[in-house]
Amino acid sequence: MTLEARARAALKRGDLPAAAADAKALALESPQQPAGFFLLGLAAAEAGQIAKAIPLIEAAVERGPNAEHLAQLARLLILLRRDGEAADAARRAMELSPSDALTFDTIGCVLARLGDHEASVIPFAAAVEAEPGNLGYRYNLAAASGFTGRVADAQAHYEAILANEPGNARVHYALAILSRQTAQANHVTRLETALANARRPEDTLRIRYALAKELEDVGNVADAFRYLSAANAAHKQAIHYDFEQDAAIFEGIEAIFGGPADALAAGGGTVGAAPIFVVGMPRTGTTLVDRILSSHRDVEAAGELQAMPLAVKQLTGTPSRNIIDPATIAVSAGVDAAAIGAAYLARADHHRRSGKARFTDKLPANFLYIGHIARALPDARIVCLRRNPMDTIWSNYKNLFASQSAYYAYSYDLMDTARYYARFDRLMAFWERILPGRVLQLSYETLVSDQEGQTRRLLEHCGLEWDEACLSFHENSAAVATPSAAQVRRPINADGVGKWRSYREALEPVRAWLQEQGIETE
């Protein structure tokens, strides 16, 4: 067996010291060949030493570009959020015509992480064609198919996985949210069987959410709420969430921007009106508005970018692993505004593909960064979606977001979600007071009832000329990777208005508490 074969075999069985030893010997034996450096890099990456792994794999690429090497380099670069370099490496890998399924799948995963779901379909499909029995590759293709509107293809791939793995909770949940279920066609019985057989907490969580979604679709709201409340109570306990964690963030933001009136002008910022920020609580119509704006001839959708949170975190240099926390917020007050603007635009640029003059950034949580945006990007436009408080709270509670994300940790408890909404509402009033007119607060319900009038108002605020295509947003073929994917591929409708009333009794404590806070709920 050659040194290369031995190193690969050791990597496959998880024997990292043996893999590293053989790879090092190979690199010393053939220093002009890429294989030893590449395998040394993989061994380092498997050991969690990403920063050490990247130069080794770069050394392999310098000795002769290879699709496998470039794909793995792209994978590591994306882990360090070096998005532009990752995109270049992934596309170069694809141009070199990969020959193995893993390389195709790796390229697809990098493109998906970059938000380029349409481009990811091709390598994912190639991976499945090369290894049709690999269910992980098939899941990735199914997800990309769903994001890009290929619903029938997604369903077929998901069903193929379940034929082999009847208990695959990720697939059960993905199928539930892929389309609206009916009394005649749903998966409730199958999901109940899967739940009875689930052993891991994360599987139980997903299957309960899937049941809640499908039962609500078919009108069984009592059982839907039962499954949902059980899922959320267990997950809240597992993550040990305390609302004070989020309260401290809101207080920190108000503290740094609530000082002298000229604080927001400090540093001058970076000029240019390219970015349009679409912000708000999740599930309030942000995807709908993003779809309307990106149907305009001059606007592209860049996705839910982490560019602003990462720019602020990078320039504060705070040591915590959290992207946003009170310490980072406090330090950010002294960071040069133009530097934040430049860092944001550099990161965002990696997600722009069409060459259009304007782009949307649809990270809902950017409402926390409105002060930073106003300082750093004085010409950027900001739109905040507002939805009935009860519908907002209910929709946050019933949707499974990224279960390990700190952004949505509040959403596993109804009263925590209500408290979070109240702080969001207070923060938006704060921004309006110190930045009057800077943020367009757009009502979801009014947009639904007066589509053209509110679309004109939206475009005017964003400095865009009228474009009739914005009224036909549902014909927009761009990918959608949010829980709203099915809704925004239909014409505008009022189906989501007042949904909370189906659960009025269970939500009464929330409604009463909001009333005590002076927040109208009807």
Domains and CATH numbers, the chain: 244-516 (3.40.50.300)
- Coil, strand or helix at 30: coil
pLDDT at 492: 79
Quick one: which of 432, 417, 455 has its CA closest to 281?
417
pLDDT at 108: 98
The whole-number average pLDDT for the span 341-355 is 91
Strands (E), 210-338: 275-280, 299-301
Tokens 């604080």 correspond to what residue? Answer: 263
pLDDT bin (cut points 50, 70, 90) of residue 213 is very high
Q: How far apart are CA 391 and CA 393, in angstroms?
A: 6
The whole-number average pLDDT for the span 80-104 is 94
Residue 262 predicted with pLDDT over 60: no
Tokens 């139980």 correspond to what residue? Answer: 204
Residue 449 predicted with pLDDT over 80: yes
- Coil, strand or helix at 359: strand
pLDDT at 493: 81
The whole-number average pLDDT for the span 127-153 is 96
Residue 264 predicted with pLDDT over 60: no
Identify the helix (H) or strand (E) that includes residue 215: helix 201-217
Radius of gyration (Cα) for the chain, nearest Å?
Answer: 24
Q: Say what the alpha-carbon torsion angle 48, 49, 50, 51 is, to the nearest 10 degrees.
A: 160
Quick one: which of 413, 354, 350 has its CA closest to 77?
350
- For the record, the structure tokens of 281 come out as 């609580």
Tokens 């990456």 correspond to what residue? Answer: 45
- Coil, strand or helix at 520: coil
pLDDT at 273: 83
pLDDT at 489: 60
Strands (E), 314-437: 358-361, 381-386
- Coil, strand or helix at 439: strand
pLDDT at 396: 96
Q: How far apart are CA 383 and CA 444, in angstroms?
A: 12
Identify the helix (H) or strand (E) that includes residue 440: strand 439-443
CA 390 to centroid of chain Cα atoms: 24
Residue 478 predicted with pLDDT over 70: no
Residue 465 predicted with pLDDT over 90: yes
pLDDT at 471: 95
Which tens digit of pLDDT belongs to each residue from 380-434? 999 999 999 999 999 999 999 876 778 899 999 999 999 999 999 999 999 999 9
Q: How far apart are CA 177 and CA 112, in angstroms?
A: 19
Determine if the pTM surpasses 0.85: yes
pLDDT at 365: 95
The whole-number average pLDDT for the span 20-43 is 94
In order of 260, 292, 470, the CA distances from 475 in angstroms are: 47, 10, 10
- Calculate what percentage of the chain has a pLDDT beyond 70: 96
Position 205, amino acid: L
Q: How far apart are CA 196 and CA 193, in angstroms?
A: 5
For the chain, what is the total number of helices (H) and then of strands (E)? 25, 5
The whole-number average pLDDT for the span 273-291 is 95
Residue 98 predicted with pLDDT over 70: yes
Q: Are 371 and 484 in contact (CB under 8 A)?
A: no
Q: Are 108 and 144 in contact (CB under 8 A)?
A: yes
pLDDT at 475: 81
Residue 178 predicted with pLDDT over 60: yes
